[in-house]
Amino acid sequence: MMQRGDRLIEAIAQIGKIVLEKQGEGSVVDQLVENPGYPACVLVAVRADEEGNVVWEGCEIEECGSDYKKYLFRSGSSRGTNYSPTAKITTIENTYEQKVIGWFRTVTRKMDHPVLRAIEQLLVQKKEAILQELREKLSLLTDRSLISLKMNGSYLYDCEPFRDAFLHLVHEKDMELSARDQVCAICGERKDTVIGKLSVFRFYTLDKPGFITGGFDEAKAWRNYPVCLSCKAHIEEGRKFVESHLHYRFYGFSYFVIPTLLIPAGKDVLDELLQYLTDGKKDIRVHQEQADSFMTTEEDLLGLMQDYDNSLSLQLLFLQKIQSAERILLLIEDVLPSRISELFQAKKATESLLYREGDHPFHFGFLRTFFRSGVYDKYFLQVVEYVFQKKPLSISFFAPFFMEQLRADFYDYEAGDWSFVNKTRQALAVVLFLEQAGVLVRKGEKAVQGKFAQLFDAYGGQLESPEKQAVFLLGALTQMLLDIQQQKRGSKPFVKQLMGLKMDEKAIKGLLPKVIGKLEEYESYYASHRQLAEEISHLFLSSSPSWKLSVDELNFYFACGMNLSWKVKEIVANKEEK
Ligand SMILES: [Zn+2]
Domain boundaries, the chain: 6-20+185-354, 34-163, 392-577
Residues facing residue 193 across a β-bridge: 180
456 or 177, which is more confident: 456
pLDDT of 569 over the 50 cut: yes
Instruction: Tell me which of 62-66, 88-92, 450-454, 465-469 is least confident.
Output: 450-454
Ligand 1 centre to CA of 210 (Å) is 30
Helices in 175-266 by DSSP H: which ranges?
218-222, 229-245
Quick check: 207 pLDDT over 70? no
* Contact between 443 and 464 (Cβ < 8 Å): yes
| Ligand 1: centre distance to CA 174 (Å) | 15
Dist CA 572 CA 578 (whole Å): 10
**What was the pLDDT predicted at 561?**
97
Ion ligand 1 neighbours, Cβ < 5 Å:
184, 186-187, 228, 231
If you measure from the C-alpha of residue 179 to the centroid of ligand 1, how many angstroms do you get, rounded to a whole number? 13
User: What pLDDT is stored for residue 40 in this prediction?
Assistant: 94
DSSP of 304-336: HHTTS-TTEEEEEEEEEEETTEEEEEEEEEEE-
**Per-residue pLDDT tens digits for 520-564:** 999 999 999 999 999 999 999 999 888 989 999 999 999 999 999
- Going from the Cα of 234 to the center of ligand 1, the distance in angstroms, rounded, reads 9
Tell me how far the alpha carbon of residue 380 lies from the centroid of ligand 1, in angstroms.
37
Check pLDDT > 70 for residue 286: no
- The SS3 of residue 228 is strand
Q: How far is the CA of 255 from the centre of ligand 1 (A)?
A: 27
Kindly state the helix (H) or strand (E) to which residue 236 belongs, with its residue range: helix 229-245
- Classify residue 60 by burial, with Cβ atoms within 10 Å: 0-12, 13-18, 19+: middle
pLDDT level of residue 111 (50, 70, 90 thresholds): confident
Residue 514: exposure state from Cβ atoms within 10 A (0-12, 13-18, ≥19): middle
- For ligand 1, the distance from its centroid to the CA atom of residue 553, given in whole angstroms, is 54
What is the pLDDT confidence band of residue 219, given thresholds at 50, 70 and 90? very low
Per cent of the chain over pLDDT 70 is: 87
CA of 256 to the centre of ligand 1 (A): 23
Top pLDDT among 577 and 320 is at 320
What's the average model confidence in pLDDT over 118-139? 95
pLDDT, position 377: 92
The Cα 96–Cα 115 span in angstroms is 19
User: Which pLDDT band, with edges at 50, 70 and 90, does 411 fall under?
Assistant: confident
CA of 557 to the centre of ligand 1 (A): 56
Cα(411) to centroid(ligand 1), Å? 63
Nearest to 312 by CA among 340, 277, 292: 340
Task: Indicate the average pLDDT of the chain.
Answer: 86
Distance 243 CA to ligand 1 centre (A): 22
CA of 231 to the centre of ligand 1 (A): 4
User: For position 299, what pLDDT does the model report?
Assistant: 78
* Cβ contact 524:447 at 8 Å: no
Q: How confident is the model at residue 225 (pLDDT cuts 50, 70, 90)?
A: low
* pTM, full prediction: 0.77
Work out the average pLDDT over 189-203.
Answer: 65
The residue type of 383 is V
Q: What is the pLDDT of residue 223?
A: 46
Contact present, 104 and 115 (Cβ < 8 Å): no
- Give the contacts of 475 (CB within 8 A, at least 6 positions apart): 557, 558, 559, 560, 561, 562, 563, 565
Q: Is the pLDDT of residue 203 over 50?
A: no
* d(CA 115, ligand 1 centre) in Å: 25
Q: Tell me the mean pLDDT in the region 269-297.
A: 71
Q: How far is the CA of 259 from the centre of ligand 1 (A)?
A: 19
Q: Which of 86-90, 115-119, 284-288, 564-568 has the lowest mean pLDDT?
A: 284-288
